[in-house]
Amino acid sequence: MTSAISAIQRSALGFVLVLVLFGALPLVISSYQMSIANEILIFALLAMSIDVLAGYAGRTSLGHGALFGASTYVVIYWTSVYGGSAWVGCLLGVIAATLIATVFAAFAVRVSGVYFLLLTLALGMIVWGVCLRWTSVTGGENGIRGVGRPDLIANPTVFYYATLAVVLLMTFLMWRFVRSPFGLTLRGIRDSESRMRSLGYGTSVHMFVAFIVTGFFAGVAGALYALFNNFVSPSTVQLSQSVEGLLMAIIGGVGTLFGSFIGAAAIILLENVVSAYTARWQMVLGFTFIGTMIFAPEGILGALRWLISRKRWRRSSNIVTNDSNTKGGTKWIADNF
């Protein structure tokens, strides 16, 4: 199965690239730039959680930003207001995000397409509304200030590598998840739900679990963000968080997993560069959205993959390649997304 081996090889290459590139960065860049790279890693994880649901399960969500931010709130609240340990706080944050994802999933399991998008948007807004108005707990407009990281990871460089390690671990777990039998079933559902149902697969259960799993990963990203930013406010859970996360996933390439790193880097670097010269970042972001949708909805990595698989298809014209991770996958993206 040459195509299967090369898929694993490609993923291994992705891991190594991320490890080497991000791992070597602190040696050559300033501490401020390292904090930017740190931010990129955290948001890549958020984008990945959205990507798994959108690219492999076929459901585009605008609620994962709220899950991300909810985790941040719990971590900061636990360490700052309650005075607990940061490690326990992170655990609680991830649990909270997963629990809220369970509630979201219960609502969203039978819905797809645009309705799914709007439903997750509405649920995300409820979370935002709670964070904004439940002033006694969340501090309302003021937000909550953190108390700094525990000594072990207080140093920015140490924390950077810790983030890298956690993000790579989560990426690996997600990779295993999408390549597992469960993940393959998900892709089958994505490609044709009716067929899978007639084959006897519980499509709703699969969607339910998939949502919760991606919620877990968004929660991990949120916990990292709490340690990174040392501050949380209603902006952390607001709709724009979900929108930017989705855009990062799209620009990198929906359904490519590693594309999220590219997407997160592209958006965050673009914002830093653009903001240094002009205040018109919102317009640039808008045009990026428009341009991506018209010219490159498969994203950077998606377009690359499609080009490569097309070349291979032409070269071996007698063999039908049906690896749904490449041609089939990008075809689904191209047709449906």
Partner 1 sequence: MDRRQFLKATSLTVAVSAAGTLATPRIVRAADPIRIGLMAPLSGVVAAGGREIVEGFNMYWEEHGKQSGGRAVEVIIEDDAGNPDTALQKARRLVEQAKVDFLFGNLLANTGLAVASYVKGNGVPYFIPVIAADDLTQRNRIRNVIRVAGYTASQMPRPLADWALKQGHKRIATISQDYTFGHEQCGGFAQVFTEGGGQIVSQLWNPLNTADFSPYIGQLGNLKVDAIFAMELGADASRFMKQYSDFGLKGQIPLLGAQNFTDQSVIRTLGEECDGIISSAHFAEGSDNPVTQKFVKAYSAKYNKMPSLYGFSHYSGAMWVDQVINQLKGDISNRDVFIDAVLKSQLTNSPLGRPVRFDDYGNPVYDVYIRKVVKNKDGKYWNVPIQTYPAVSQFWTYKPEEYLKNPPFSRDYQGIKK
Partner 2 sequence: MASLNLVQILNGLTLAALLFIVASGFTLIFGLLRIVNLAHGALYLFGGYIGYSVTVGTGNFVLGLLASMLFVAFLGLVIDQGLLRFVRGFVLREVLLTLGVAFVLNDIALVIWGGDTFSVQIPAALRGAVRFAGIYYPTYRLFVLLLGILVFIALWLLLNRTRLGALIRAGVDDAEMVEAMGINIRRVFLATSMLGASLAGLGGTIGGAFLTLYPTADSEILVFALAIVIIGGSGSLVGAAVGALLVGMLNTIGQVMFPELAYFVIFGPMAAILAFRPLGLFGRA
Return the SS3 of 259.
helix
Residues 6 or more apart in contact with residue 227 via CB below 8 angstroms: 75, 86, 90, 146, 149, 153, 159
Taking the complex as a whole, how short is the minimal distance between the CB of residue 221 and partner 1, in angstroms? 16
Q: Are 198 and 46 in contact (CB under 8 A)?
A: no
Out of partner 2, partner 1, none, which partner does residue 30 contact, by CB within 5 to 8 A per kind? partner 1
Q: Tell me the per-residue interface mask from 293 to 312 with partner 2, x by CB under 8 A, - otherwise.
A: xx--x---------------
Out of partner 2, partner 1, none, which partner does residue 311 contact, by CB within 5 to 8 A per kind? none
Is 99 a binding residue for partner 2 by CB under 8 A? The answer is no
Is 128 a binding residue for partner 2 by CB under 8 A? The answer is yes
> CA 59, CA 51: separation in Å to the nearest integer?
9
Return the SS3 of 199.
coil
Out of partner 2, partner 1, none, which partner does residue 1 contact, by CB within 5 to 8 A per kind? none
Is 286 a binding residue for partner 2 by CB under 8 A? The answer is yes
Region 201-240 residues binding partner 2, contact defined as CB under 8 A: 239
Region 17-76 residues binding partner 2, contact defined as CB under 8 A: 60
Is 275 a binding residue for partner 2 by CB under 8 A? The answer is no
Position among 36, 121, 162, 270 found at the interface with partner 2 (CB under 8 A): 121
Return the SS3 of 111.
coil
> CA 107, CA 241: separation in Å to the nearest integer?
21
Q: Are 221 and 70 in contact (CB under 8 A)?
A: no
Complex with partner 2: residue 312 or 331, whichever CB lies closer: 331
Report the 10 Å Cβ neighbour count for 15. 14
Burial of 175 (0-12, 13-18, 19+ CB in 10 A): buried
Q: Which stretch binds partner 2 (CB under 8 A): 194-202, 213-221, 282-290, 315-323?
A: 282-290
Position among 48, 125, 189, 213 found at the interface with partner 2 (CB under 8 A): 125
Is 169 a binding residue for partner 2 by CB under 8 A? The answer is no
> CA 29, CA 91: separation in Å to the nearest integer?
32
Beta-sheet pairing, 144-145 with 231-232: antiparallel
Position among 170, 174, 250, 267 found at the interface with partner 2 (CB under 8 A): 250
Return the SS3 of 14.
helix
Q: Which residues bind partner 2 (CB under 8 A)?
A: 60, 106-108, 110-111, 113-115, 117-119, 121-123, 125-126, 128-130, 132-134, 239, 243, 246, 250, 280, 282-283, 285-290, 293-294, 297, 336-337
